[in-house]
Amino acid sequence: MHRQMILDLLEQYTPSDDRDEQCRQRFVAFVRSNPDCFERSLACGHITGAAWLLDPTGCKVLLTHHRKLNCWLQVGGHADGQCDIIEVAMREAQEESGIEDICVVDPKIFDLDIHTIPAHNGLPAHEHFDVRFLLQSDSKKLVISDESHDLQWFDAQELLQMNLDESILRMRRKWLQRPVTQRSSTGTKAQRK
């Protein structure tokens, strides 16, 4: 079953609070009831993959100023039929940042979010069931894609000075609860703050 991988990830996900658990339950119900949940053509909504992408020091996160939505968001996008959602998150992070060297900090789900995408260019409003992973780059060089107005690295304090969606602030809180992750020549290592 092509949905088993995401169902397993959802089963292993540890919710941080009641909202998170309700979101996880909605995800499971959506995946189980929609065999085409990874397809953009599913009009009611679809699975998307995203990255909380850290810089090489683990102290900054990359956000994109999304062209259509006109706000700062994590990098990510549509699965377009691909059921390995962590691969989707990595692909979208590379496409939206221009960074080739991206690694997985943790293969477990970092965050879940369900949000409504407004109607646009003849497409009806629909929901994105966004699965977010903690990834890290070995580079700070960025290439802005045509989907963005801007790309920037932000530290945790800078995020508080911005008008950000609650889901971004929630990921910030989760990030700060983890040990600092710093890339080294021998791979990824964790260091306590």
11-54 confidence digits (pLDDT tens): 999 999 999 999 999 999 999 999 999 999 999 999 999 999 99
Domain membership of residue 96 as a residue range? 4-179
Task: Flag whether 109 is in a domain.
Answer: yes
Q: What is the pTM of this model?
A: 0.89
Task: Flag whether 187 is in a domain.
Answer: no
Task: Flag whether 188 is in a domain.
Answer: no
Task: Flag whether 186 is in a domain.
Answer: no
Q: What angle do CA 117, 170, 161 make, to 5 degrees?
A: 95
Task: Give tens-digit pLDDT for 78-129.
Answer: 999 999 999 999 999 999 999 999 999 999 999 999 999 888 888 889 999 9
Whole-Å CA distances, 123 to 60, 80, 114, 120, 148: 35, 16, 18, 5, 20
Task: Flag whether 168 is in a domain.
Answer: yes
Task: Flag whether 159 is in a domain.
Answer: yes
Residues 6 or more apart whose CB falls under 8 angstroms from that of 20 comprise: 112
CATH of the domain at 111: 3.90.79.10
Distance CA 68, CA 10 (A): 29
CA nearest neighbour of 83 among 8, 29, 22: 8
> How many domains does the chain contain in total?
1
Token pair 């979208």 in the structure block, residue: 92
Task: Flag whether 191 is in a domain.
Answer: no
Task: Flag whether 190 is in a domain.
Answer: no
